[in-house]
Amino acid sequence: MPLVSMRQLLDEAAKGAYGVGAFNVNNMEQIQAIMEAARETKSPAIVQASRGARSYSQDRFLYHLMLAATELYPEIPTVLHLDHGNSVETCKSAIAMGFTSVMMDGSLMPDGKTPSTFEYNVKATREVVETAHSKGITVEGEIGCLGGIEDGHGAGLDGLSHLTDPEQAVEFVRETGVDALAIAIGTSHGAYKFTSKPTGETLKMDRLLEIHRRLPNTHLVMHGSSSVPKDLQDIINQYGGKLKPTWGVPIEEIQLGIKNGVRKINVDTDNRLAITGAIRKVFWEKPEEFDPRSYLKPARDAMKKVVAQRMTQFGQAGHAGDYAPISLEAMAKRYQQHLTA
């Protein structure tokens, strides 16, 4: 099947009361890891690329790897999503290339660093929604600012300084017509999310519940939601790495989110840790090796294991065959009818 709209995946996830992991990629091995995990667990798949990934890979390469994925894994409904588009132009270029979903992150200015105004965010996101929906493409928006920096994108704030205001979230969804909404509830990008196991003081799940209560039909997105498990940190440090102790978002908190409107969960750091740990282990144990496959294959396997585990924990496992894909043309018609209704 061709790449499908993210809106359809998230609508199905809402029906089935489960979440869908969105995993970041930069190269072939990462795409293969996700697709293999999806096949093994019979899961729908969201593959996402940031601006950094698009420039690293030359996004034409990435796009064609994704076409290969749809040919080789025809039973898996697969989305190609732009993570943190910084401007209307960036989103439009992703749409032109064939992404089936884009995030317009208007919570920051186009520099990807400076927190924006609500008015700017609404205007930029609304413009992306108009272009995207006319082609059946999904749009994720963001209100409030995530902590940390990811691929050079982020205000570098701590996770608590720009939490999502529930009332503004309602207004934002009404004004923009976004399909999915990323919210700031204390999470951050990168490995160093929390300096101890998060509590209600640092990870504001009550805020999420309040937003869901006011927006029961909006698909919520949790960013910066790697769990940063200790065993993955330990492998890196055991084989010469130097990670400082750190805590991510516990799986049980994500599962609580999924019970309360969270349909998309962004995971990147856990896969980075798994890949790096596997490569370090080979370098440490077999310093005579120099065939890249000798470490890229274990790296790919390690990422696949993490992705399959998350797909199971988020509840998407077993749901790949639940539905037939709706074409982007049909999605465009649905948006049109909805708007004229």
If we measure between CA atoms, which residue out of 168, 169, 90, 91 comes closest to residue 133? Answer: 91
- Tell me which residues touch Zn ion (CB under 5 A): 223
Task: Compute the least distance from the CB of residue 221 to Zn ion, in Å.
Answer: 8
Nearest distance, CB of residue 258 and Zn ion, angstroms: 18
Q: What CA–CA distance (Å, rounded) separates 48 from 36?
A: 16
Whose Cβ is closer to Zn ion: residue 41's or residue 50's?
50
Which CB sits closer to Zn ion, 193 or 223?
223
Which of 144, 196, 147, 145 minimizes the C-alpha distance to 166? 144
Copy the structure tokens of residue 71. Answer: 């040919």
Tell me the closest approach of the beta carbon of residue 111 to Zn ion, in angstroms: 16
Nearer residue to Zn ion within complex by CB, 48 or 309 = 48
User: Quick one: 223 or 263, whose CB is closer to Zn ion?
Assistant: 223
How far apart are alpha carbons 201 and 333 in whole angstroms?
44
Catalytic residue among 11, 59, 83, 268: 83
Tokens (6 digits) for 182: 């990323």
- For 267, the 3-state DSSP assignment is strand
Report d(CA 94, CA 306) in Å as an integer: 27
What's the min distance (Å) between Cβ of 187 and Zn ion? 9
Q: Check if the beta carbon of residue 193 is closer than 8 Å to that of residue 160.
A: no
- Within a 10 A sphere around the Cβ of 117, how many other Cβ atoms? 10
Give yes or no: 231 in active site. no
List the catalytic residues. Answer: 83
